[in-house]
Amino acid sequence: MSTKAHYIILEDKVLLSKKHYSDWREVQDEYYKGYKTNFPPLTCSELLEYFEDDFKAESNWPFSKEQVINFFDSTDMILCSTVSK
């Protein structure tokens, strides 16, 4: 089974979380302060493809390609990036 992670968007940061959630409401309950939205669990390749399609240049991504790959290869459960305003 491939590792999957939720892409969670908050007002001041974005997260990748390997935690299992039953549905989006569970994510919203955990991150109630500043919650905007989240994506269903994605594999590393699905997430990279999404970033490539949505953000185009890697310099616009919330995480670098290397950070995403390293996160999926690690035992870390959360990866966080602050959103620039």
DSSP characters over the chain: ----BEEEEESSEEEEE-S--SSHHHHHHHT-TTEEEEPPPB-HHHHHHHHHHHH-SGGGSSS-HHHHHHHHHSS-SEEEEEPP-
**Band of residue 2 on the pLDDT scale cut at 50, 70, 90:** confident
pLDDT digits (tens, 9 = 90+) for 53-78: 999 999 999 999 999 999 999 999 99
Number of folded domains that form the chain: 1
For residue 68, being part of any structural domain is answered with yes
Q: Which residue range is the domain that position 41 belongs to?
A: 6-82
pLDDT digits (tens, 9 = 90+) for 10-60: 999 999 999 999 999 999 999 988 999 999 999 999 999 999 999 999 999
For residue 1, being part of any structural domain is answered with no
pTM (predicted TM-score): 0.90
